[in-house]
């Protein structure tokens, strides 16, 4: 295992031999957590809450439950820092990627870049254009990991390009879906990926070393499938 040594270190630090008594304050803590989750469910379903509101409730649950459980404010702060450091690297990478996208968008660069890539695609022969679309979307996904954001930025160009080169629009959509979907498993600008790796305490380097071969297989398979889709005029659109 690529994380065997790390797992052994964490197991050595984890003191599971000590038996704790389940006291009344612990029951109250569980009630606070349950009430907090119920409140979040109500907020999402009835008041349209999203990330900001849910984050606020989570932090509130942690503070209230910690104080009821007898944790001092200084230990609460230390525990928060210890938990946050696991996802800080991912947050910084995602923030930097977002800053790059913001500069490219506000500077009106992103459309120029996409148009330049589209001009390269139009020179490819026949069905190879569809494969090129897949690869281009994979590259763009590094800078725009949001599926809806990437679609709104690229598809207004890729759709008429598909019409020009004679491939179906559904093939262009398939190329977008593969390009946006596959590379999310490995790009460090994916907030979901970096967040999960941080919570799982898995270094990105170890994940990349484990996953890059799978990405190669997926890229080859995706290229073949998109090429076939272009050949058979994958439709109905």
pLDDT tens per residue, range 165-175 = 888 999 999 99
pLDDT of residue 13: 63
12 band by pLDDT with thresholds 50, 70 and 90: low
Tell me how far apart the alpha carbons of residues 145 and 33 are, in angstroms, rounded to a whole number: 33
pLDDT given at position 11: 65
Q: What is the mean pLDDT of the chain?
A: 84
Inter-residue contact 165 to 190 (CB < 8 Å): no
Look at residue 225 in the predicted model and tell me its pLDDT.
Answer: 94
So what's the pLDDT on residue 45? 93
What is the percent of the chain where pLDDT is above 70? 91
d(CA 8, CA 13): 9
DSSP collapsed to 3 states, the chain: CCCHHHHHHHHHHCCCCCCCCCCHHHHHHHHHHHHHHHHHHHHHHHHCCCHHHHHHHHHHHHHHHHHHCCCCHHHHHHHHHHHHHHHHHHHHHHHHHHHHHHHHHHCCCHHHHHHHHHHHHCCCCCCHHHHHHHHHHHHHHHHCCCHHHHHHHHHHHHHHHHHHHCCCHHHHHHHHHHHHHHHHHCCCCCHHHHHHHHHCCCCHHHHHHHHHHHHHHHHHHHHHHHHHHHHCCCCCC
CB of 114 closer than 8 Å to CB of 152: no
Of 20-29, 109-118, 150-159, 207-216, the least confident: 109-118
215, 182 Cβ separation under 8 angstroms: yes
What is the model's pTM? 0.66
**Is the pLDDT assigned to residue 199 strictly greater than 80?**
no
Structure-model confidence comparison of residues 49 and 153, the more confident one: 49
The most confident of 14-18, 25-29, 36-40, 115-119, by mean pLDDT: 36-40
Q: What percent of the chain has pLDDT over 90?
A: 27
Q: How confident is the model at residue 18, as a pLDDT?
A: 66
| More confident of the two residues 95 and 63 | 63
Please give the pLDDT value at position 93. 72
Q: Which residue in the block uniquely carries the two structure tokens 């190669």?
A: 216
Chain CA centroid to CA 211, Å: 15
Bigger pLDDT: 92 or 63?
63
Q: Which of 21-25, 33-37, 75-79 has the highest mean pLDDT?
A: 33-37
Mean of pLDDT values over 190-219: 85
> Which tens digits make up the pLDDT trace of 62-91?
999 989 988 888 888 888 887 777 777 767
- Between the ranges 29-33, 82-86, 110-114, 115-119, where is the mean pLDDT highest? 29-33
Where does the pLDDT of residue 30 fall: very low under 50, low under 70, confident under 90, or very high at 90 and above?
very high
């Amino acid at each position: 295992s690529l994380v065997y040594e790390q797992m052994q270190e964490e197991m050595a630090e984890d003191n599971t031999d000590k038996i704790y008594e389940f006291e009344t304050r612990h029951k109250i803590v569980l009630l606070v957590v349950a009430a907090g989750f119920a409140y979040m469910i109500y907020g999402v379903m009835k008041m349209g809450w999203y990330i900001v509101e849910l984050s606020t409730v989570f932090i509130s649950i942690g503070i209230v439950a910690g104080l009821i459980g007898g944790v001092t404010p200084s230990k609460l702060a230390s525990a928060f820092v210890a938990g946050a450091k696991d996802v800080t690297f991912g947050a910084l990478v995602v923030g930097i990627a977002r800053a790059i996208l913001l500069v490219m968008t506000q500077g009106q660069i992103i459309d120029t870049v996409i148009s330049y890539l589209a001009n390269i695609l139009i020179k490819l022969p026949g069905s190879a254009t569809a494969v090129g679309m897949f690869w281009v979307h994979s590259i763009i996904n590094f800078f725009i990991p949001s599926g809806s954001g990437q679609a709104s930025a690229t598809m207004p160009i890729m759709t008429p390009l598909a019409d020009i080169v004679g491939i179906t629009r559904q093939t262009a959509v398939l190329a977008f879906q593969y390009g946006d979907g596959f590379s999310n498993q490995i790009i460090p600008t994916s907030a979901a990926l970096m967040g999960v790796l941080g919570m799982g305490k898995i270094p990105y380097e170890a994940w990349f070393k484990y996953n890059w071969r799978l990405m190669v297989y997926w890229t080859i398979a995706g290229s073949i499938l998109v090429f076939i889709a272009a050949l058979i005029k994958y439709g109905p659109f």
